[in-house]
């Protein structure tokens, strides 16, 4: 762990730079040339940051006139490895900073891509907006519901283009499928179901000394003080202090597509969820391996409310509606997707880049399309964000932070209902539960100083 004197020094430095940036917007519509180069920094260099987001920039560098000029990660070794790859692809070695706030001070950097654990998303996004940077933040947008609202407030106050990494929103085939859904291809849609059946091995706590080159205090950030745990570093998605379980990891993609397809622009009014621990007794993960959710949304179609179902499984399982076998997921191993049910048939979206409809009582194949090998569409999603940075129109974003907040919130509310094991009523406008102060307490969390979520962004 960090020595006491080093921690005091760090806290003083954090207090000096961790409040509010009031820098002018780095790219303003009135002064930004459409051809000016966009200088970016990538924060969080695990698989998503190092390969998916950096990889998208490599592919788009010439087409979109964009470059990576900064990298940040709490693991010095991982950061150095990523820097070599950036230099190999783009020809320039980026600036390296363990503390991403040093990059925010650099006014020549226009935009930040965040691929850090969920517990860091909100604070880093808010800091970047305050520093005048546009933001691409991985899904889910937030670690809890209150954070998501603060992220929206910061994006609006500082007029930043904040894109959430629900990349299906930029998939041409899924966009086509959702458009057909809205046009009535399966009649009136009355319900939707999402699934995320992914084999998960679980893991055991591995507590020990902090490895050389790792800034563990900074990795923890706003999360509670804790000894170094290798399980947290590798499996943070399935530990409540840092992630949101399978529902908030894979499931948020499907929840987002459901909201999009059903035109749900408010929170659910009632939600229930039950979960069970991983059946593997060796696992120390504390999020459910099996979880079911049902949410009711106030309907706009002749007063009809809409039901949304979601289910996760972490063991061997069957396929569903052909998804997983006839229509395999991107990794050809797991079963994930969305089913929309309508009065004339149903539609499935089995991956990140395809849709299929089945019509009438005989389930005859209707309109459909797909991209071979079901790519994840990271490049298209980053391209969309870069073009919105130039246009300065948040309407141009495929996955604006408001959409990301609403989709993540469904996962947060379901996890709260699962924790309390009771059906909850929610006041969508006030973003509070109805007559349930115990549930309200779970809409936020305790933050570890100095990494405090600001009351005023």
Among residues 100, 93, 131, 97, the alpha carbon closest in space to that of 116 is found at 100
pLDDT at 281: 67
Q: Are 18 and 91 in contact (CB under 8 A)?
A: no
Quick one: average pLDDT of 407-432? 98
Residue 154 and residue 24 in one domain: yes
- pLDDT at 15 exceeding the cut of 60: no
Query: Is residue 6 included in any domain, yes or no?
Result: no
Pure H helices in 167-215: 172-183
The span from the CA of 288 to the CA of 227, in Å, is 23
175-199 residue pLDDT tens:
999 999 999 999 999 999 999 999 9
Its sign, for the CA torsion 255, 256, 257, 259, is: positive
Among residues 150, 249, 235, the alpha carbon closest in space to that of 196 is found at 249
Residue 165 and residue 26 in one domain: yes
- pLDDT at 23 exceeding the cut of 70: no
Residue 135 and residue 185 in one domain: no
pLDDT at 21: 43
Tell me which residue range forms the domain holding 264.
Answer: 171-375+409-435
The span from the CA of 87 to the CA of 148, in Å, is 34
Residue 275 and residue 424 in one domain: yes
254-313 residue pLDDT tens:
999 999 999 999 999 999 999 997 666 678 999 999 999 999 999 776 568 999 999 999
CB half-sphere exposure, 59, CA atoms < 13 A: 13
**Which residues are CB-contacts of 330 (< 8 A; sequence separation ≥ 6)?**
351, 352, 373, 374, 375, 376
Residue 68 and residue 203 in one domain: no
Residue 339 and residue 289 in one domain: yes
**Radius of gyration from C-alpha coordinates of the chain:** 22
3-state secondary structure of 190: strand
Widest Cα–Cα separation across the chain? 72
How buried is 89 (Cβ within 10 angstroms: 0-12 exposed, 13-18 middle, 19+ buried)? middle
Q: Are 296 and 270 in contact (CB under 8 A)?
A: yes
Query: Is residue 451 included in any domain, yes or no?
Result: no
Residue 227 and residue 85 in one domain: no
Residue 163 and residue 190 in one domain: no
Query: Is residue 284 included in any domain, yes or no?
Result: yes
Supply φ then ψ for residue 54, to 5 degrees: -60, -40
pLDDT at 265: 96
Query: Is residue 34 included in any domain, yes or no?
Result: yes
- Partners of 67 in the β-ladder: 39
131-164 residue pLDDT tens:
999 999 999 999 999 999 999 999 999 999 999 9
Domains in the chain: how many in total?
A: 2
Supply φ then ψ for residue 132, to 5 degrees: 80, 25
The span from the CA of 440 to the CA of 2, in Å, is 34
Residue 130 and residue 190 in one domain: no
Q: What is the CATH number of the domain that holds 347?
A: 3.30.360.10
How buried is 190 (Cβ within 10 angstroms: 0-12 exposed, 13-18 middle, 19+ buried)? middle
pLDDT at 35: 65
% residues pLDDT > 90 (the chain): 86
pLDDT at 200: 87
pLDDT at 32: 46
- pLDDT at 326 exceeding the cut of 90: yes
Q: Are 307 and 295 in contact (CB under 8 A)?
A: yes
- pLDDT at 28 exceeding the cut of 60: no
pLDDT at 362: 97
Quick one: average pLDDT of 206-216? 98
Quick one: average pLDDT of 398-416? 98
Name which residue leads in pLDDT, 202 or 50. 50
The span from the CA of 59 to the CA of 65, in Å, is 11
Assign 12 a pLDDT band (cuts: 50, 70, 90): very low
pLDDT at 417: 98
pLDDT at 303: 65
The span from the CA of 368 to the CA of 149, in Å, is 36
Residue 216 and residue 348 in one domain: yes
Residue 203 and residue 326 in one domain: yes
Quick one: average pLDDT of 42-56? 96
Query: Is residue 456 included in any domain, yes or no?
Result: no
Query: Is residue 116 included in any domain, yes or no?
Result: yes
Query: Is residue 19 included in any domain, yes or no?
Result: yes
Alpha-carbon 27 to chain mean position: 24
| Angle at which helices 401-420 and 145-157 cross, to 10° | 170
Query: Is residue 404 included in any domain, yes or no?
Result: no
pLDDT at 2: 44
- pLDDT at 107 exceeding the cut of 60: yes
Residue 147 and residue 244 in one domain: no
pLDDT at 301: 64
pLDDT at 351: 95
Q: Are 443 and 144 in contact (CB under 8 A)?
A: yes
Supply φ then ψ for residue 180, to 5 degrees: -65, -35
Q: What is the mean pLDDT of the chain?
A: 92
- Partners of 308 in the β-ladder: 192, 295
pLDDT at 302: 59
Q: What is the CATH number of the domain that holds 21?
A: 3.40.50.720
Residue 25 DSSP label: P
Worst-scoring range by mean pLDDT, 81-90, 352-361, 371-380, 437-446? 371-380
């Amino acid at each position: 762990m960090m020595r006491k004197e080093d921690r005091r020094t760090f806290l003083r430095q954090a207090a000096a730079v961790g409040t509010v940036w009031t820098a002018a917007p780095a790219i303003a519509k009135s002064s930004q040339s459409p051809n000016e180069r966009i200088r970016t920094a990538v924060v969080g260099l695990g698989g998503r940051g190092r390969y998916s987001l950096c990889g998208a920039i490599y592919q788009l560098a010439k087409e979109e006139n964009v470059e990576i000029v900064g990298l940040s990660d709490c693991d010095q070794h991982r950061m150095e490895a990523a820097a070599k790859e950036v230099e190999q692809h783009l020809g320039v070695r980026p600036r390296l900073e363990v503390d991403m706030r040093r990059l925010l001070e650099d006014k020549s950097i226009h935009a930040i891509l965040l691929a850090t654990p969920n517990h860091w998303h909100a604070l880093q996004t808010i800091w970047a907006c305050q520093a005048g940077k546009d933001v691409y933040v991985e899904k889910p947008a937030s670690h809890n519901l209150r954070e998501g609202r603060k992220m929206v407030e910061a994006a609006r106050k500082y007029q930043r283009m904040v894109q959430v990494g629900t990349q299906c929103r930029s998939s041409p085939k899924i966009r086509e499928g959702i458009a057909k859904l809205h046009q009535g291809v399966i009649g009136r849609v009355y319900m939707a179901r999402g699934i995320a059946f992914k084999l998960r091995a679980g893991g055991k706590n591995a507590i020990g000394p902090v490895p050389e080159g790792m800034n563990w205090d900074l990795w923890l950030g706003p999360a509670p003080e804790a000894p170094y745990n290798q399980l947290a570093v590798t499996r943070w998605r399935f530990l409540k202090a840092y992630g949101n379980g399978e529902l908030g990891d894979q499931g948020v993609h499907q929840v987002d597509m459901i909201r999009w397809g059903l035109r749900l622009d408010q929170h659910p009014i009632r939600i229930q969820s039950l979960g069970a621990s991983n059946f593997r007794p060796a696992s120390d993960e504390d999020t459910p391996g099996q979880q079911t959710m049902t949410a009711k949304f106030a309907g706009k179609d002749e007063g009809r409310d809409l039901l949304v179902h979601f289910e996760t499984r972490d063991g061997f399982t069957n396929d569903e509606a052909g998804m997983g076998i006839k229509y395999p997921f991107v990794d050809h191993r797991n079963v994930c997707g969305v089913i929309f049910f309508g009065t004339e048939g149903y539609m499935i979206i089995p991956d990140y880049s395809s849709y299929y409809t089945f019509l009438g009582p005989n389930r005859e194949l209707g309109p459909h399309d797909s991209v071979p090998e079901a790519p994840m569409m990271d490049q298209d999603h980053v391209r969309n964000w870069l073009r919105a940075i130039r246009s300065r129109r948040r309407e141009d974003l495929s996955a604006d932070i408001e959409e990301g907040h609403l989709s993540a919130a469904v996962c947060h509310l379901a996890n709260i209902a699962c924790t309390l094991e009771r059906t909850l009523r929610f006041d969508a406008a006030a973003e509070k539960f109805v007559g349930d102060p115990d549930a309200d307490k779970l809409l936020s969390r305790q933050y570890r100083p100095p990494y405090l979520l600001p009351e005023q962004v």
